[in-house]
Chain A
Amino acid sequence: MLIRLSFIALLGLASSLAANSKEVSFNFEIRPILSKNCIGCHGPDPGDRKADLRLDTFEGATSTEFGDASIVPGDPDASLMIQRIESNDPDEVMPPPEHGHSLNKEELALLKQWIREGGHYETHWAFVPPTRPAAPEVTTTDWGKNEIDSFILAALEQNNLRPSAPAKASELLRRLSLDLTGLPPSWEESKDFQKSYHENSAQAVSEAVDRLLASPAYGEHWASMWMDLARYADTVGYSGDEHRDIWPWRDWVIKAFNDNMPYDQFITEQVAGDLLPEADEYQRLATAFHRLTLNNNEGGTNDEEFRTIAVKDRLSTTVNATMGLTIRCAECHTHKYDPITIQEYYEFYAFFNQSADRDHRDDRPRMAVTPPGTEKERKVLKNRITQIKQAAEQTSPWTALSLDQSTATNGVTFSPKPDRSILAGGSNPPNATYTLRAPAPAETTTALQLELIPDLRHNDMIGRSPSGSVFLNHIQLFVVTPDGQRERRYFSHATADYSQPNYSITNIIGEEAHRNGWAMNHPKQGFKARRIAVFDLDKPIDAPRGSTLEVELHFQSSLPRVTAGRIRLSVTSAPQAASRFEKRTLHPLGRELVEMQDTLNATIRVPVTVELPQKRQRETHIMTRGSFLQLGKKVAASLPAAFGELPNDAPKNRLGVAQWITADTNPLTARVAANRYWARLFGIGIVETEEDFGTQGTLPSHPELLDWLAVELQEGGWDIKKFLKTLVTSAAYQQSSQASPERLERDPRNTLLSRGPRYRLSAEVVRDQALAVSGLLNQELYGPPVYPPSPIKKFANAFTGYTHWVESQGTDRYRRALYTYLKRSNPHPLFETFDMASRDVCVMRRFRTNTPLQSFMTLNDVVFVEASQALARKMKSHSDTVEEQIRHGLRLVLLDEPISDQVTILSELYEKSLHEYENDLTSALELAGTIPTPATDENAAQLASLTVVANILLNLDAFLCK
């Protein structure tokens, strides 16, 4: 205890008290010196080890096999290590001068003392399972609400600091709300809380915490946090960065948090939900966690290469997110610092090497998922379809043709589908002509209908190319009579439910093939929805019995591979079908039916993890230098020796790995989780390097507290909500965040928690909070990603063409940040600017920056301007006097009664703005805007001036920080 607390003293005072009278701690004082100066060359990696010397083990350090022992226990002067460090000879001295670092006097003194005391090594602290320590003795007795506080207080006392006073009630509720739900309280909630807090603070806090933990916003907020770790995105990454439907997994995470799924189960289902006995739909959906890896669909890529990269990423992400270990470097060579050899790495990898996915373009295997929350809607839709179908069967003007005799050029083949459509297969040439043949109907034919249908085989898109695009250059119709005469017939008009500008459907009915042709990249649906075209004949066809209709479709674009995947042709005898189709009077029910059926069929198919059957399981080999082409020795699945073995009854697969991760004996899982929750609330982890609990990570600032928390989490049944409540009901958490010169001097970064946490909010919360206080926030849960305004309207990816950011309209603009479409190669600038992690790899913590680009965002971004406009209207409707309007704005934003200086400053700003806007109505109308209601000539100047004020309110430091 004393030893560790003295370490805290070292940290706190940022000075060195070397050669102290207490026994030196190997883990906390010696290992950092060895790690920094020696282990890189004298560590576990035999490939780079110099002079065959290992200084990371007692055996290595005391070995005399190759000469004098580096360490002679009890005798620093006889220890070669000390002699070499103290040497003046540049060829002798360690570390070598060219390495650019050396030991200082204090470090040397510590090493000597440690050797004098026997040179004992200890297992790295984080690899020893935590036990619950007793709360330390403290001298202050009038402070503290739970055990956490004793640990905090003991460290503060060591540093001659006292805790800060409790935060004001308003500040506390704001902190609790933002921390637990990512949203601020309303002014009314704040007032109520202030009142009850003054009656009974403990009870008020407890009730508020329970209310916040039960709010659905809680799950959304903590799911946001998990997204960085899981490298969640709505696209596949790399050059193509195509869309990927995987958002139901994100909803699974939200629900798991809201249902308070125990953390061990939360991990198990994501790592190996598919392997659980009788896994249900949602347990299998959870394994999409592993399918958030990148897919490389660039032409010429080797699928095996990118499969193995994905598998490595899964291993790395799983181990990093749950156990705070980085093992990626062992994929090429034995880890330089932590105990894992290249062989052990591939043995570990073998557990993850058995999933069926193979970097396929269509991301298979995928699982049809009923999007959470749509069950009711779908039932209604089904009933309606049944009704319409019955009605429609009588009245449909279209008869589908049987296309069995169809052929095509360049090796394309067709297979019939039950709905009389045909599916293209065979080779996939750059260009092709399809000749669709059907017996001519007995009835008069006045028009032809062409449907391009998305198909599973073509990645749910209408075309066969990777992008799903289709370019049709020409359509020709022939009637072949039984005597073999082939007569071309012409179309007078054509229409389609969508044509790209300049690529109209009417291009393709001319005499010759059209250079542009018909293109149909729908701004919202892309190539994922059915496209329908209707062609009126210039003269009706009444073909003799036994005739054949031949329809030629020419796909001759200069862009390769733009042929259609699945086609259906129908005919009608209704007059003017095309123009009636345009006006939707041809057969309104039929059109509606198609749309509804497409909606219903659009179950979301989500990539999931599926284990290969036993006999198809892959062999795993060591990859020399990490290359999938250079396979070395074959290895069998097992855990790295330093991390023990699978639990006795555990299966020898991913599920076994999950059980090992979540076993009570695992030294890291609970510590890493506890530390992560701590860091999100207190701003800095007890281990600051949340991503690295290995020997190179930072040491815990409060080691015993971390162990206490880890055991608390484990023994509490991994109950996250309960654990969070323990954290936020500590006195440490509830302190005022006001600093003082003394506290800044002694505890500059607040690692000792001499005051309450005060940090800039995360990217998501910065946005959501602005929407919340202005009343715009749409709190709808779940669903497909949305497209709030972005200055980047069009993305151009190499090889896959353009994608458009089609802004969501209505309330979808104001959904929580978590639902914003995340394109890996081009995330929404707001999130990037506010330090959201790249979603290419698992990232455990964000670095907080403070930059002028952030200022631009909160001052000028459309969402923040609209929020300012809406807030201005709320302020205006509150009162008739400007001062009270401003007062109210300050209350809504800062949730406290304003001080007079604040009101004065903003009133002056209002007056100056008003003066300008009264003389410039155009600008006033522009700035006052239309959200949520348009300004009028009469109120524009006032609203615009209030918008200026509101814009500043949303940029206050106090608002951007918790």
Chain B
Amino acid sequence: MNRLDPHNELQLARASALTRRHFLQRCNAGLGAVALNSLLGQSASAAEKPGAQPDYLRHYAPKAKQVIYLHMAGSPPQHDLWDYKPELVKNHLQDCPQEFIEGKTFAFIKGHPKLLGPVYDFKQHGQSGAWVSEMMPHLAQHTDEMCFVKSMHTDQFNHAPAQLLLHTGSSQFGGASMGAWVTYGLGSMNNNLPGYMVMVSGGKNPSGGKSLWGSSFLPSVYQGVQCRAKGDPILYVSNPEGMSRNIRRQSLDSLSQLNRLELESYQDPETLTRIEQYELAYRMQVAVPGVMDIKNESTRTLEQYGAKPGEASFANNCLLARRLVEQGVRFVQLFDWGWDIHGTTKLDDMENQFPKKCRETDQAISALLTDLRERGLLEDTLVVWGGEFGRTPMHEARGGSKFLGRDHHPDCFTTWMAGGGVKPGITYGATDELGYSVVKDPVHVHDFQATIQHLLGIDPHKHNFPYQGLNQRLIGPTASPKIIKDLIA
């Protein structure tokens, strides 16, 4: 069999890198060398010239290397979890102040609503003295690791646009997701797994759909790869029925030989890349089922998380998130559906659905934090928890519903972070005594995105991709959000 001589092959490899680098050719100061050589989105490689990374990535010391983003889709009620308001307890079922409703539009509230005090008790925990609802008994043990932001606010009060704004920087479709931006900038840390992986629980997809982990104008290599609890963990990772791994290996060897003949004859650099991609696919076939199989975790670990092999649950996803991070996956995103506590029926109310969601997540997230800490991963892993907007301190009572619940509220909500370079045991920002508006240190969704990127060593203002005549950024092409330095350890 003829082979290309080494010189020729090297030249092709260089051309291959060049052509793919051209994806980015219009960022003159841009990411040029980053990431594209490995199509799992891994960052530097032999074919790239070292030092070609843009300054703003090179000179920036990251506080965190990886992210686990826990999105509670539907948006949990902050007044019933973290943002404790004694005044709200006192004024339970009293008319809300007139100024809350004057000139305001709500998604569902009509007329003059009543205030709704938290249904469950709060206690202070840890040295930080953070107030936590009794519904989160496990997480309450972690308050000294957590960094609460109680002054989050957004522009959107419908689920899909708010989720899009949070994860893509734009409330309309067409933006690239945070995970895509991050892996585009930093690449993956594992040769055999995608750099950005996504898992969904709660029985439904989040309202914003797959665009929430899409790559949009960024090369599709950077889109989140969704892992599934049932069937193939990644689509089509299994060989067809009747094909053994041995035959797959043999056939890929043949394919590689045939493609090398093609390469010799046409000298298309993309052919070389394709040969590499098939090899990578084979390695993934081996790696993915392994990492996604939790059967070999100890009984103790499984119990800590409340995970059960073979089930599709948030608890399993938390355990998988740790396994993926351990394997070097850059960005792991979990969406858990069912937090839209309106109180129209018992399927979305405060007394049935809310405790159920708390039970499903409290222990698992707590176990995740402990597990990450014990394995020394928490230092480098930023854990983020939150919804897409807040909920009203007022009782929604849609159509006179007898179930308790709260409407959508964009003006304030609480998220928390842990690990990865954030200050542990602090609370940033505050809302008024009824928890209706931010009164101290507001954090807009774009500020939050800027801060997360900053923690990862990415300059949020400069991290861009030219598309449709604009330097597109996660924080929007023109906004100038602030990095919340007070959150950073």
Do the two chains bind? yes
Q: Which residues of A does B touch, CB under 8 Å?
A: 36, 48, 100-101, 237-239, 241, 294, 296, 298-302, 309, 320, 326, 328-329, 332-333, 336-338, 429-430, 558-560, 629, 689, 691-692, 694-698, 737-741, 744-745, 748-749, 758-760, 791-792, 795-799, 824-826, 829, 832-833, 835, 838, 840-841, 847, 849-857, 859-861, 865, 899, 901-902, 905-906, 908-909, 912-913, 916, 922-929, 944, 948, 951-952, 955-958, 960-961
Bound-state Cα–Cα, A922 to B235, Å: 25
If A100-B462, A336-B470, A853-B225 touch, whether A927 touches B240 (CB-CB below 8 Å) is yes
Contact B56 A924 (CB under 8 A): no
Contact B11 A741 (CB under 8 A): yes
Contact A738 B265 (CB under 8 A): yes
Q: Does B408 make an interface contact (CB < 8 A)?
A: yes
B359 CB, nearest partner CB in chain A, Å: 20
If A100-B55, A852-B284 touch, whether A302 touches B468 (CB-CB below 8 Å) is no
Give chain B interface residues in 210-242, CB to chain A under 8 Å.
210-211, 214, 216-217, 219-221, 223, 225, 231-232, 234-242
Bound-state Cα–Cα, A329 to B462, Å: 19
Bound-state Cα–Cα, A748 to B20, Å: 11
Chain A residues with Cβ below 8 Å from B239 are: 859-860
If A300-B408, A696-B466 touch, whether A825 touches B210 (CB-CB below 8 Å) is yes
If A916-B247, A927-B242 touch, whether A791 touches B462 (CB-CB below 8 Å) is no
Q: Which of B11, B172, B270 interacts with A961 by CB under 8 Å?
A: B270
Bound-state Cα–Cα, A289 to B85, Å: 51
Bound-state Cα–Cα, A951 to B278, Å: 13
Q: Which of B159, B194, B203, B478 interacts with A298 by CB under 8 Å?
A: B159
Bound-state Cα–Cα, A695 to B209, Å: 34
Q: Which of B231, B246, B255 interacts with A956 by CB under 8 Å?
A: B255
Contact A902 B258 (CB under 8 A): yes
If A798-B206, A912-B250 touch, whether A956 touches B219 (CB-CB below 8 Å) is no
Having A744-B12, A855-B278, A860-B238, one finds 18 other A-B pairs with CB under 8 Å, namely: A239-B160, A300-B107, A302-B105, A336-B470, A698-B26, A737-B266, A737-B268, A792-B235, A796-B203, A797-B205, A797-B209, A825-B209, A838-B214, A840-B173, A855-B280, A856-B234, A905-B257, A927-B240
A838 CB, nearest partner CB in chain B, Å: 6
Q: Which of A296, A791, A906 interacts with B158 by CB under 8 Å?
A: A296
Give a binary string over B419-458; 1 marks a CB under 8 Å from any A CB, 0 the rest. 0000000000000000000000000000000000000000
Q: Can you list 13 A-B contacts with CB-CB less than 8 angstroms, sorted by A residue number?
A: A239-B207, A298-B207, A430-B399, A559-B347, A692-B468, A798-B204, A849-B221, A860-B236, A861-B236, A923-B241, A944-B242, A960-B274, A961-B270
Number of interface residues of B (CB under 8 A): 106
Contact A749 B236 (CB under 8 A): no
Bound-state Cα–Cα, A309 to B158, Å: 14
B27 CB, nearest partner CB in chain A, Å: 10
Contact A948 B243 (CB under 8 A): yes
Contact A899 B477 (CB under 8 A): no
Contact B251 A952 (CB under 8 A): yes
- The 5 A-B residue pairs with the shortest CB-CB distance, nearest first, are A300-B107, A927-B242, A926-B242, A825-B209, A840-B173
Chain A residues with Cβ below 8 Å from B247 are: 912-913, 916, 948
Nearest B residue to A430 by beta-carbon distance? B399
Q: Which of A692, A739, A795, A952 interacts with B258 by CB under 8 Å?
A: A952
Contact A748 B15 (CB under 8 A): yes
Nearest A residue to B347 by beta-carbon distance? A558
Contact A748 B19 (CB under 8 A): yes
**Interface centre among A238, A692, A760, A901, by most B CB within 10 Å?**
A238
Nearest A residue to B462 by beta-carbon distance? A100
Contact B204 A797 (CB under 8 A): yes
If A849-B39, A927-B242, A961-B270 touch, whether A336 touches B468 (CB-CB below 8 Å) is no
Q: Which of A857, A902, A944 interacts with B236 by CB under 8 Å?
A: A857
Bound-state Cα–Cα, A301 to B225, Å: 30
Contact B158 A301 (CB under 8 A): yes
If A299-B108, A791-B236 touch, whether A798 touches B258 (CB-CB below 8 Å) is no
A788 CB, nearest partner CB in chain B, Å: 14
Give a binary string over B265-305; 1 marks a CB under 8 Å from any A CB, 0 the rest. 11111110111011011001100000000000000000000
If A100-B55, A336-B470, A913-B250 touch, whether A860 touches B211 (CB-CB below 8 Å) is no
Bound-state Cα–Cα, A329 to B477, Å: 9
Contact A860 B240 (CB under 8 A): yes
Chain A residues with Cβ below 8 Å from B246 are: 916
Contact B205 A691 (CB under 8 A): no
Chain A residues with Cβ below 8 Å from B462 are: 100
Chain B residues with Cβ below 8 Å from A695 are: 469
Chain B residues with Cβ below 8 Å from A824 are: 209
Nearest B residue to A960 by beta-carbon distance? B274
B423 CB, nearest partner CB in chain A, Å: 26
If A100-B55, A798-B159, A852-B40 touch, whether A326 touches B205 (CB-CB below 8 Å) is no
Chain B residues with Cβ below 8 Å from A739 are: 266-268
- Which label, helix, strand, loop or mixed, suits the secondary structure of the A interface? loop
Contact A741 B8 (CB under 8 A): yes
A323 CB, nearest partner CB in chain B, Å: 13
**Interface centre among B159, B216, B462, by most A CB within 10 Å?**
B159
Contact A923 B242 (CB under 8 A): yes
Contact A799 B207 (CB under 8 A): yes
Q: Does B337 make an interface contact (CB < 8 A)?
A: yes
Q: Which of B26, B210, B223 interacts with A826 by CB under 8 Å?
A: B210
A18 CB, nearest partner CB in chain B, Å: 16
Bound-state Cα–Cα, A897 to B317, Å: 52
Q: Does B174 make an interface contact (CB < 8 A)?
A: yes
Bound-state Cα–Cα, A847 to B18, Å: 15
Nearest B residue to A801 by beta-carbon distance? B204
Nearest A residue to B401 by beta-carbon distance? A430
Chain A residues with Cβ below 8 Å from B221 are: 849, 851
Chain A residues with Cβ below 8 Å from B270 are: 759-760, 850, 957, 961
Q: Does B121 make an interface contact (CB < 8 A)?
A: no
Bound-state Cα–Cα, A865 to B251, Å: 14
Contact A300 B108 (CB under 8 A): yes
Contact A851 B220 (CB under 8 A): yes
**Interface centre among A692, A744, A796, A841, by most B CB within 10 Å?**
A744
Contact A691 B468 (CB under 8 A): yes
A31 CB, nearest partner CB in chain B, Å: 13
If A697-B469, A856-B235 touch, whether A738 touches B267 (CB-CB below 8 Å) is yes
Q: Does B100 make an interface contact (CB < 8 A)?
A: no
If A241-B209, A923-B244 touch, whether A835 touches B220 (CB-CB below 8 Å) is yes
Q: Does B1 make an interface contact (CB < 8 A)?
A: yes
A99 CB, nearest partner CB in chain B, Å: 9
Contact B207 A560 (CB under 8 A): no
Chain A residues with Cβ below 8 Å from B39 are: 849-852
Contact A748 B18 (CB under 8 A): yes
Contact A326 B173 (CB under 8 A): no
Bound-state Cα–Cα, A256 to B350, Å: 55
Bound-state Cα–Cα, A758 to B18, Å: 16
Nearest A residue to B271 by beta-carbon distance? A957
Bound-state Cα–Cα, A829 to B232, Å: 13
Q: Does B28 make an interface contact (CB < 8 A)?
A: yes
Chain A residues with Cβ below 8 Å from B240 are: 860, 865, 926-927, 951
A607 CB, nearest partner CB in chain B, Å: 19
If A799-B207, A901-B1 touch, whether A300 touches B29 (CB-CB below 8 Å) is no
Q: Does B344 make an interface contact (CB < 8 A)?
A: yes
Q: Does B254 make an interface contact (CB < 8 A)?
A: yes
Bound-state Cα–Cα, A43 to B211, Å: 33
Chain B residues with Cβ below 8 Å from A745 are: 11
If A333-B478, A740-B267, A791-B235 touch, whether A338 touches B173 (CB-CB below 8 Å) is no
Bound-state Cα–Cα, A927 to B241, Å: 6
Contact A850 B277 (CB under 8 A): yes
Q: Does B329 make an interface contact (CB < 8 A)?
A: no
A306 CB, nearest partner CB in chain B, Å: 9
Chain B residues with Cβ below 8 Å from A853 are: 194, 225, 234-236, 281
B161 CB, nearest partner CB in chain A, Å: 8
